[in-house]
Structure 1
């Protein structure tokens, strides 16, 4: 008698990764427990102060700081003040001329241009050079001598008006010499007098120089030759005041 084959009893299905899941669960529980413990420990600690956002205050060095420049040392104070105070004074014994351009030593652009040969052209040139203001002094000396001194100041925002104008003069038929300590400054003396019917022959000397935003101009007229020493002395003394 044949014994029928009896099939094997079915095996229970194992959940795949059960051991790994148990390990992972334990790890998560351990992490949570560690986090909670850390939070409890941190809660019991005093808060750590944050560093200040502002920079530390530096102690000031002992001793007095540098003295501010005086008006005599600060050139900006000198040149922005009363320009007439920078003009050389009339010599003792000299007289004011019968006619003096401007008012109280000041000349506006039109009055200053009127003293030059081509008034209209010079007016336009002064505007282009950024004319700011001008001051002047004049006198008559012994005999037929007459002297005019001008200080002309420019804004110099876009152009170097003082240096441009000081070097832009018709020097006629002259001899010339540099003015010491002025760079491009020069004096000019006419070799021959200017002549015009009905007038005495007239000699002319001229000095031009500049410093900063101020151009200096000096003219001397006389019926006799003008010594170099006279115009040179005036030019040097006037430049020393700028």
Structure 2
């Protein structure tokens, strides 16, 4: 054998093991991964076995302990003067100003025993058919009123109209929705953001005494307040203003 042949034959063992070494590394990695998985499974099984041998831990009760009530009577309920609903959910007629002494109940008074149903209240307004429909849409609940006459020509009417107000603030809408025409003066009513007092020019017709009119409107909660004074002589601003203030204070 020549020297070149011997050199080639002696070089083969050095290069040949390169492939088997790569294969051995692949097998080693696979063996390590397999051992890790088997170890994880074995550890999980061992954990289950250990947990199965332990005494179960008692869980806390889902019910809460009963808390003893504090001693004492607790807070007192609000009085009618403090709780608006106590007053307005009661007898609405009791919130009306009393009829002054020396006055008379007119025969034409629309209220019966102080109450007005929706038909009676709508009938007391102009264009009663339209008013009835508007009251139904505005969620009319009930109304109370008082009327009196002084002398032969003076009369006063007070209405407290209560609304359910489930969808609309009808009381405030009613107080601010009056279409006032022919007024000779208007002033805000203290104590109500929407309160107004009006005096009107006299209505004159041949053969009749002049008709003077004063009006006051306001709302408090779910109640709209409406006051009218009629007379054959001028009505002082102080008269309607004082009457409106006193009625508003009762709401």
Partner of 1:182: 192
2:124 aligned to which of 115, 125, 143: 115
SS class of match (2:224): strand
SS class of match (1:91): coil
Gap runs ≥5 in structure 2: 1-41
1:82 & 1:57 partners in 2: Cα distance? 41
Count residues with an aligned counterpart: 205
1:66 aligned to which of 63, 67, 75: 75
1:212 & 1:77 partners in 2: Cα distance? 12
Gap runs ≥5 in structure 1: 1-27
Q: Does 1:168 align with 2:190?
A: no
Deviations 1:124-166 (A, max 9, x none): 1111111111110000124521100000011111111111111
Matches within 5 A, 1:27-46: 39=53
Distance 1:198 1:125, change over 3 A: farther
Q: Does 1:228 align with 2:214?
A: no
CA-CA distance at 1:118 after TM superposition = 1.1
Partner of 2:103: 94
Decide which moves more: 192-201 or 56-65: 56-65
1:202 & 1:209 partners in 2: Cα distance? 24
Query: Contact (CA 8 Å) 2:154, 2:229: kept in 1 or not?
Result: yes
Normalising to structure 2: TM-score of the pair?
Answer: 0.74
1:197 & 1:108 partners in 2: Cα distance? 36
CA-CA distance at 1:198 after TM superposition = 3.4
Partner of 1:9: none
* Higher fraction of helix: 2
2:93 aligned to which of 84, 109, 115: 84
Deviations 1:66-87 (A, max 9, x none): 1111233322121111111110
1:51 aligned to which of 60, 81, 92: 60
CA-CA distance at 1:224 after TM superposition = 0.9
Let me know the Cα RMSD of the aligned residues: 2.4
CA-CA distance at 1:210 after TM superposition = 0.4
Partner of 2:29: none
